[in-house]
Amino acid sequence: MDLTTTYLGLSLKNPIVPSASPLSRELDTVKKLEDAGASAIVMYSLFEEQLQFEAAELTHFLEHGADSYAEATSYFPEPAQFHMGPDEYLEHIRKLKSAVDIPVIASLNGVSTGGWIDHAKKMQDAGADAIELNVYYIATDPKLASADVEKVYVDVLKAVKNAVTIPVAIKLSPYFTSMVNTANKLVDAGADGLVLFNRFYQPDIDIDNLEVAPNLVLSTPNEMRLPLRWIAILYGKVKADIAATTGIYSAEDVIKSLMAGANVTCMCSALLRHGVGRVTEVLNDVRTWMEEHEYESVKQMQGSMSQKSCPEPAAFERANYMKVLQSYV
Amino acid sequence: MSRKMVTIDGNQAAAFTAHKTNEVCAIYPITPSSNMGEWADEWSAQGKRNIWGTIPEVVEMQSEGGASGAVHGALQTGALTTTFTASQGLLLMIPNMFKIAGELTSTVFHVSARTVATHALSIFGDHSDVMACRSTGWGMLASGSVQEVMDFALIAQAATLEARVPFVHFFDGFRISHEVMKVEELTDDDMRAMIDDDLVRAHRARALSPDHPVIRGTAQNPDVFFQARERVNPYYDACPEIIQKYMDKFASIAGRQYKLFDYVGDPEAEDVIVMMGSGAEVAHEAVEYMNERGAKVGLVKVRLYRPFSIKHLMQALPASVKRIAVLDRTKEPGATGEPLYLDIVSAIDEAMSEGMAPFANRPVVIGGRYGLSSKEYTPAMVKGVFDNLAKDKPKTHFTVGINEDVTHTSIDYDPNYITEGEDVVRGMFYGLGSDGTVGANKNSIKIIGEDTSNYAQGYFVYDSKKAGSVTVSHLRFGPKAIRSSYLLTSANFIGCHQFVFLEKYDMLSSAVDGAVFLLNSPYGADEVWDKIPRKVQEQIISKKLRFYVIDAYKVARETGMGARINTIMQTCFFAISGVLPREEAIQSIKDAIKKTYGMKGDQIVQMNYNAVDQSVSNMHEVNYPSEATSTIEIPPAVSPKAPQFVQEVTGEIIAGRGDQIPTSKFPADGTFITGTTKWEKRNIALEIPVWDPEVCIQCAKCSMVCPHAAIRFNIYDSKCLETAPATFKSADARGKEFEGLKCTIQVAPEDCTGCGACVHICPAKNKQEPKLKAINMAPQIPLREPEKENYDFFLNLPEYDRSKLKINTIKGSQLLTPLFEYSGACAGCGETPYVLLLTQLFGDRAVIANATGCSSIYGGNLPTTPYTVNRDGRGPAWSNSLFEDNAEFGMGYRLTFDKFKVMAHELLDKLAGQIGDNLVAGLKNADQSTEAGIQEQRNRVVELKKKLEGMDSSEAKHLLSIADYLVQKSVWILGGDGWAYDIGYGGLDHVLASGRNVNVLVLDTEVYSNTGGQMSKSTPLGAVAKFAYGGKPIAKKDMGMIAMSYGNIYVAKVAMGANDLQCLRAFLEAEAYDGPSLILAYSHCIAHGINMRTANDTQKQAVESGHWPLYRYNPALAAEGKNPLLLDSKDPKISYQDFAYAQTRFKMLTKSKPEESKRLIALGQEEVSSRWNLYRQIAAMKYDLVE
């Protein structure tokens, strides 16, 4: 049975890739993921704001109070060297690359085209096999038109593509007015892959303390419906690989995503909830299902249920909505 | 050989040579020497090696006594060892210094000479500390400039190995230790050439070793001690020649020739000054200037003060000398003269009788004092000394530089006598500590010193406050070496970095005609003129100043620099001062930025570059009219309502005219009135809290956490509002006991520092707009006048009757009047809310012993002091003894009070017949456990006094003098962790073990805060501090557990920001406990690298992580068969890492040594968990089973 797939020009032994999460922070965990069967790893994100914030914060607090009072011209010793910026992240790429055999996909998270784009090149130099670009952009400015938002994505992508030679996937928000059009613009701008979707952290409200509570809620399996639809629609309409992410918990979820047209399926919440061994379980279940249903390869099913190939293309559109509503009563 | 020119201060210069030429260094921080040890530690941590290729071992001890002991031990076992200290620190080393010299041990101590505390503490420079060491048998070598510091450190080190006389190498604290100068850096080869390795090996060969054992440090009896003591004489006899030999050797290596006594001036001078230290450089400048104008004057600079060489002095003095003025930078009251004077007198007499003198007739020798506590010493004063000397009957034992109008010792001088050359560019910069002015100027000096052939000098003056502190930078640049070790009195560039300073400081009085004046102004070139005071306009016009403005804060905001205007103002300075070609200067600034911020990230560098680029284009020259038109007058420093002393003394100090206050205005014994901060309206807050009575739940937490007592709470009768100002706010008081009354929370608009701690702690939110609370910050300026009026009205509202209050509630406690207000502590200080609470609860009967440190500085540093009195005139009495003896000092208070109470009881018994048995019984058996009980006892004492006043017996008079002690006094011993955990621990332990009724409050910042962030034994595991460069590897000492082990000490660990009620209860229980009490109070600090506005969250994290478990250990419970330990915090719910990495002190290690940080934090977690486990088990023990 052939579970191999390709993604961003990388040959992967199967379609299960743990997505960007704290799991990749520990070397041991990544080794365990590899042992469990993961075919590649997307590293935790290097955040543009975090880098800027850390540098500004450190500078501020080390200087704060200095040269203000005769007895204490400073409050901290000055180390010979600070490892600021992406140093720690890059070092981690190097460590991962020497510790595991599976491809390592670095993740870059930001919205501007400033100096931080250079980090992409540094990631490549550190050994990253590809870059997942996460343009986490919440458009709150009423003056911004949808085209402006799309331009942000395109500009950042172009800047990164100009900086590196390794493949670049872009993680998208589901909130584009015309997803297929936007996806194609991004592919034209050089995207080698589309990752669907970015699940923005959704803040909660603490009604007792009247506070916004930005806590993370792990995804649930039914959330995969959203990417599933768009993968199915996009498949064949864009010349780029597709990664499914959000709500992939089981072999069925993996198979559905592949059938919709994904090259790989990214798991995160399932692993955080059930442990890294979940990869093995899902892989085994995929194998069993394929055996039972006499599939020989993953490629055989990829895109088979996309809008292009499925028996009822309209089901992914408005007609589907009507049908669902009717079935509810 | 070409050597590197470096721009450094005296401390760095001393540390540089010392670190290169020693193997072990044991230190303890003390201003102004701390930086030397810090440099040594930093260099060793960075792996920098000495000239023999090894990294010196640097260790911080628990006190200077400890440091000198460790030094003694290291020397005895053969290591080349040094230390750095000053003032009381040096005094603590004296016992070991006697030993070290008695054992003929080679070493050099580097001392940034500082005033020894007498009527007051002073951190500034004079020679009172080194002069206290004269009898120790140490050699003393005085440096007068930063270059000399580097050179003499080496000469002393080389010579001591041969002479075997240990050396104090000293230089003036601050004036040299902190003066930044361009100097030539010695090379390793220079040092190797100076130091004879055979002598190093000989030093080691004398070491204690079991391989060739000897015994040293014997005890000797009258039969032998004396003659054995005299055995050292040949070493002292030979020592001066050895020093001169090494000075000559140094000259052959480095090209700078020094002599034991260097003479400067006319070879046929008749009038000569003899002095040492930085003042000699000033005199040098003045003498040269006077010589050029024909005066036959000269100067002897004393380099080697001990062993004193009469021969070399005589060689230095010109034969023509007729009159000598000897200047001492110290005072020895009661002596026939100051030390150097006496030495010169006896040296001349001895030289004349021995036929060694170059002159036939004995010159007149007079002595004088100058420069105590870094008092300015200028060429004008030098001229004044010569003028006095030239008189027929010169004044001796004179003072210069002050107006001593009590015993009339001071001599006159013309302050306008200026000796500086026209080729010296002189700039003065007025800034705030927080705006980075000093840092930028240090940078400018480096740029000019290291990128041009100019010489450069920088000296920085700070005020006494930690919040909103004002800095004045004095910079000189010129083609010739600079000897001007004094503040600028005339400048051709004045930079005013804060617009509001124009109304506070007369900065343009120093501007020369045609000088450049650069003002950071929110007003542009077209509108600024009418916004500046009339006096400033007049100065600009009359001096024809070139006047420039820039809105630096706007540029800073727009370039992401926040409030740091340093780079912007620095760029403007270079752009208009012409010190360097503009483009070259800008490139140099950018290079310096890269050097400073490069490792903190490119973004910070780019941000600064951007600020540089935006600066010049935003700076504009102001075209001003020929007449002053402003209606703005400079207001008086203090209100005309202030008492006379405050008007005449305090106000003058605040106005920056302290130097002009005559001696007669000061108390003779260092005693000052309290309650003076209220007269110093500093207006430093940009924003102040505004109360919203609609939203407020009247919890009073804002008042409790305010570090400056600048937001207050009162409940009062509604009738009081009849005369309220129009904008005065009130609400119906909440709570049953306050029914029908009104409540107000009022800000002190001019005293608030704008830290925002009150807003952050406020739990009440506006339901319609939850980003608003019951108090919200708003710009101060529009609120200032109405809120001033409101605050005055508020302060005159009746106080709530304290005997009727539930003071064990937050609300009740906050209705008590604060007797500690508007201190100079940092904005958001974590210590002062505890002090404030103490004064609210017990201030009217408290006597405070305060260890030296932050709390003694904000508690007792002039000009104004925050401890104050209530409407009855009662309030805390406060004193500071030393750093190391505070517990003992406070126990002394208790001994007095206990004794006076016993004496009063004895006298009551004796006089019972006249006083009346009932009153006597009432006075003796009074229950003073409540506020009401105390009030009743006070009433009895009033009655007693009335009776006693009518009695004439000696016993009645005695009783009258101690009657007040029948009212219970509350003894509080305050200090930081540096005192409690380290230097004062031995004494504190003893006092706690004494069983006496004292209350110890440890304001635990977990680091030496006042001296700039050195590690203490309280510093937590994994935190970075000075001397814990790689993160503290050891867990903090568990002081509470140690104290609990005695069983009879009340111990509490509190964190107001985490649990205010527990904190309040602990204070009340500690004070009520009739025995020793110890409160360990978590105090956040700017040395933690946190946002001070939200710092109470850090306290919560400290508690929730288990790092700071809250508990109360009350021995009174054990007596009732209950477990005395009550844990007030719950099981840890966040990790040690979550607590730690929210603070720069921990987080920075993740950026310098990430793996080590991880390891230490994991260890910290283990430690916290196991300690919590231990506490939990102890708290769960059943005490009723204990037989």
- Looking at the partner chain, which of B38, B600, B1011 has a beta carbon nearest the beta carbon of A71? B1011
Residue A329 pLDDT greater than 60, yes or no? no
pLDDT of residue B1185: 59
Q: Of the candidates B62, B45, B50, which has an alpha carbon nearest to the alpha carbon of residue B1156?
A: B45
C-beta of residue A267 within 8 angstroms of C-beta of residue A279:
yes
Q: Which helix (H) or strand (E) holds B71?
A: helix B64-76
Residues contacting residue B595 through CB under 8 Å, at least 6 positions apart: none
* Half-sphere exposure in the Cβ direction for B1138 (13 Å, CA): 13
Same domain assignment for residues B280 and B357: yes
Residue A118 pLDDT greater than 90, yes or no? no
C-beta of residue B495 within 8 angstroms of C-beta of residue B595:
no
Same domain assignment for residues B221 and B277: no
Please count the other Cβ atoms lying within 10 Å of the Cβ belonging to residue A10: 22
Please count the other Cβ atoms lying within 10 Å of the Cβ belonging to residue B714: 24
CATH number, domain containing residue B702: 3.30.70.20
Q: Of the candidates B1039, B1060, B1034, B1059, which has an alpha carbon nearest to the alpha carbon of residue B1049?
A: B1039
The nearest alpha carbon in chain B to A68 belongs to B433
Same domain assignment for residues B234 and B286: no
As a whole number of angstroms, the distance between CA B507 and CA B490 comes to: 10
pLDDT of residue A275: 94
Going from the C-alpha of B219 to that of each of A25, A271, B101, B212, B228, the distances in angstroms are: 65, 75, 16, 21, 12
Q: Of the candidates A232, A260, A241, which has an alpha carbon nearest to the alpha carbon of residue A317?
A: A232
Contact B601 A85 (CB under 8 A): yes
| Shortest alpha-carbon distance between residue B1008 and chain A (Å) | 9
What is the mean pLDDT of the segment spanning A173-202? 92
| Residues of chain B neighbouring A77 (CB-CB closer than 8 A) | 38, 41-42, 45, 1013, 1024-1026, 1029
- Looking at the partner chain, which of B42, B469, B600 has a beta carbon nearest the beta carbon of A58? B600
The overall average pLDDT reported for chain A is 91
Same domain assignment for residues B167 and B68: yes
- Looking at the partner chain, which of A56, A71, A76 has a beta carbon nearest the beta carbon of B31? A71
Establish if B417 belongs to a structural domain.
no
Residue A324 pLDDT greater than 70, yes or no? no
Q: Name residue A267's beta-bridge partners.
A: A18
Same domain assignment for residues B265 and B239: no
As a whole number of angstroms, the distance between CA B414 and CA B428 comes to: 22
Establish if B966 belongs to a structural domain.
no
CB pairs under 8 A between A and B: 146
Contact B1012 A57 (CB under 8 A): no
Same domain assignment for residues B739 and B779: yes
- At B223, list the tokens: 């039969």
Say what the alpha-carbon torsion angle B1156, B1157, B1160, B1161 is, to the nearest 10 degrees.
-150
- Boundary of a domain, candidates B814, B849, B864: B814
Going from the C-alpha of B503 to that of each of B262, B463, B531, B535, B753, the distances in angstroms are: 46, 17, 11, 9, 19
Distance of CA A33 to the CA centre of its chain: 17
- Looking at the partner chain, which of B432, B433, B1029 has a beta carbon nearest the beta carbon of A77? B1029
The structure tokens 């500078």 sit at A59
pLDDT of residue B1142: 96
Question: Best interface-test mutation with B: which of A50, A60, A76 has the largest number of B CBs within 10 A?
Answer: A76
DSSP sequence for B784-809: HHHHHHHHHHHHTSPPP-GGGS-TTS
| Residues of chain A neighbouring B602 (CB-CB closer than 8 A) | 85, 115
Q: Which one-letter amino acid corresponds to residue B397?
A: H
As a whole number of angstroms, the distance between CA A260 and CA A275 comes to: 26
Q: Which domain holds residue B723?
A: 682-814
Number of compact structural domains in chain B: 5
Question: Best interface-test mutation with A: which of B115, B599, B610, B767 has the largest number of A CBs within 10 A?
Answer: B599
Q: Of the candidates B93, B179, B225, which has an alpha carbon nearest to the alpha carbon of residue B884?
A: B93
**B21, B50, B114, B571: which is the annotated catalytic residue?**
B114
pLDDT band at A65 (very low <50, low <70, confident <90, very high): confident
Q: Of the candidates B11, B159, B35, B42, which has an alpha carbon nearest to the alpha carbon of residue B1028?
A: B42
CATH number, domain containing residue B572: 3.40.920.10
Query: pLDDT tens digits, residue range B350-383?
Result: 999 999 999 999 999 999 999 999 999 999 999 9
- Boundary of a domain, candidates B814, B838, B861: B814
DSSP sequence for B1120-1153: TTS-SEEE-S-S--S-HHHHHTTSHHHHHHHHH-
| Shortest alpha-carbon distance between residue B653 and chain A (Å) | 17
Same domain assignment for residues B714 and B574: no
- At B287, list the tokens: 């003498």
Collapse the DSSP code of B327 into the 3-class scheme (helix H, G, I; strand E, B; otherwise coil) and give the result. strand
Contact A77 B46 (CB under 8 A): no
Going from the C-alpha of A247 to that of each of A256, A268, A269, A298, the distances in angstroms are: 12, 8, 7, 20
| B376 is an active site residue | no
DSSP sequence for B617-683: HTEEEPP--SS------PPPSS-TTS-HHIIIIIHHHHTT-GGG--GGGS-SSS---S--GGG----
Low-confidence ranges of chain B (pLDDT < 50): none
pLDDT of residue A86: 86
**B11, B31, B136, B850: which is the annotated catalytic residue?**
B31
Contact A77 B41 (CB under 8 A): yes
Establish if B973 belongs to a structural domain.
no
| Residues of chain A neighbouring B432 (CB-CB closer than 8 A) | 68
Q: Which one-letter amino acid corresponds to residue B695?
A: V
| Shortest alpha-carbon distance between residue B655 and chain A (Å) | 18
Q: What is the 3-state secondary structure (H, E, C) of B328-387?
A: ECCCCCCCCCCHHHHHHHHHHHHHHHHCCCCCCCCCEEEEEEECHHHCCCCHHHHHHHHH
B84 φ, ψ (degrees, to nearest 5): -130, 130
Say whether residue A2 is in contact with chain B using an 8 A CB cutoff. no
| B1010 is an active site residue | yes
Contact A68 B770 (CB under 8 A): no
The nearest alpha carbon in chain A to B607 belongs to A56
Contact A72 B1144 (CB under 8 A): no
| Shortest alpha-carbon distance between residue A98 and chain B (Å) | 18
pLDDT of residue A59: 87
Q: Which one-letter amino acid corresponds to residue B558?
A: E
Residue A294 pLDDT greater than 70, yes or no? yes
As a whole number of angstroms, the distance between CA B1111 and CA B1175 comes to: 9
| B403 is an active site residue | no
C-beta of residue B986 within 8 angstroms of C-beta of residue B998:
no
| Shortest alpha-carbon distance between residue A117 and chain B (Å) | 12
- Looking at the partner chain, which of A51, A59, A67 has a beta carbon nearest the beta carbon of B433? A67
The structure tokens 């070491």 sit at B207
pLDDT of residue B717: 97
C-beta of residue A132 within 8 angstroms of C-beta of residue A20:
yes
Burial A212-227 (b: 16+ CB within 10 A, else e): eeeeeeebeeebbeeb
Q: What is the 3-state secondary structure (H, E, C) of B912-928?
A: HHHHCHHHHHHHHCCCC
Cis bond leading into B635, ω under 30°? no
| Residues of chain B neighbouring A85 (CB-CB closer than 8 A) | 601-602
| Residues of chain A neighbouring B1026 (CB-CB closer than 8 A) | 76-77
Establish if B382 belongs to a structural domain.
yes
Contact B439 A75 (CB under 8 A): no
pLDDT band at A323 (very low <50, low <70, confident <90, very high): low
**B64, B270, B888, B1006: which is the annotated catalytic residue?**
B64
* Half-sphere exposure in the Cβ direction for B1163 (13 Å, CA): 16
Residues contacting residue B1138 through CB under 8 Å, at least 6 positions apart: B1101, B1105
| Residues of chain A neighbouring B1024 (CB-CB closer than 8 A) | 76-77
Considering only residues 7 to 66 of chain A, which have any Cβ-Cβ distance to chain B shorter than 8 Å?
51-52, 54-66
pLDDT of residue A319: 61
Residue A115 pLDDT greater than 80, yes or no? no
Establish if B967 belongs to a structural domain.
no
Contact B1145 A67 (CB under 8 A): no
* Half-sphere exposure in the Cβ direction for B186 (13 Å, CA): 35
Contact B466 A64 (CB under 8 A): no
Contact A67 B1010 (CB under 8 A): no
- Looking at the partner chain, which of A57, A64, A76 has a beta carbon nearest the beta carbon of B1024? A76
- Looking at the partner chain, which of B1086, B1145, B1152 has a beta carbon nearest the beta carbon of A65? B1086
The nearest alpha carbon in chain A to B857 belongs to A71
DSSP state of B596: H
Q: Look at the domain A5-328 and name its fold.
A: TIM Barrel (3.20.20)
The nearest alpha carbon in chain B to A70 belongs to B462
DSSP state of B969: P
| B31 is an active site residue | yes
Query: pLDDT tens digits, residue range B1078-1091?
Result: 999 999 999 999 99
